A and B are shown apart, each in its own frame.
Chain A
């Protein structure tokens, strides 16, 4: 079967760095998305990785290792507004999205 694993909840301190991991087992791979979703709002696109390596976008970076079936989202200089759920989604060989359950990130002052 197809499976995406990410931690259910994480807590971090304002100003710190946090890494949210995502591991996947899917039938084929055509890219991996990270989305941010605040409660009651639609998910917001953060990143799309299809090649191995690290992609940096401001305070957010995303890493992919296809051979390990692994990705992480790195958030630096955490702000209170970063409190949200972070969703990992993989595009499989049929171009279907396989969604992780999301990681709820709680930022404390």
Chain B
């Protein structure tokens, strides 16, 4: 089946630093990738939708200057949390939708970010 990977799996950083999270589709081309944030035992909150080669579409309330998304190729999207603060500590999950597929998403394993 389709596989989506994320790197790193977990990261601990100091307040004020920036952290980059990669999301890769390993065996298919993903024209669209989604970035989610999850708080404990809660629904995934969609942060943004990124289409290859174009700017990401951010959900209301998500700061685009703080959460930079780049989708430079059909297999890679990156989320950079800039000037991270403790309240940004969360579980970040990406998903990818294959070219031509309408409603099927494949989820990554998530990245646990802890900001000290």
Contacts and interface: CB of A to CB of B under 8 A. Distances in A.
A51 to B, nearest CB: 14
Chain B interface size band reads 20 to 34
A37 B112 CA distance: 23
Contact of A42 (B36, B41, B103): B36
A102 B109 CA distance: 15
Contacts of A101: 1, 106
A97 interface: yes
A35 interface: yes
Given A42-B46, A94-B9, A99 B107 contact: yes
Interface residues of A, number: 20
A94 B109 CA distance: 10
B54 interface: no
Interface in B8-41: 9-10, 34, 36, 41
B41 A48 contact: yes
Interface string B74-116: 0000000000000000010100000000111111011010000
Given A95-B112, A97-B107, A98-B109, A43 B44 contact: yes
A86 to B, nearest CB: 13
B60 interface: no
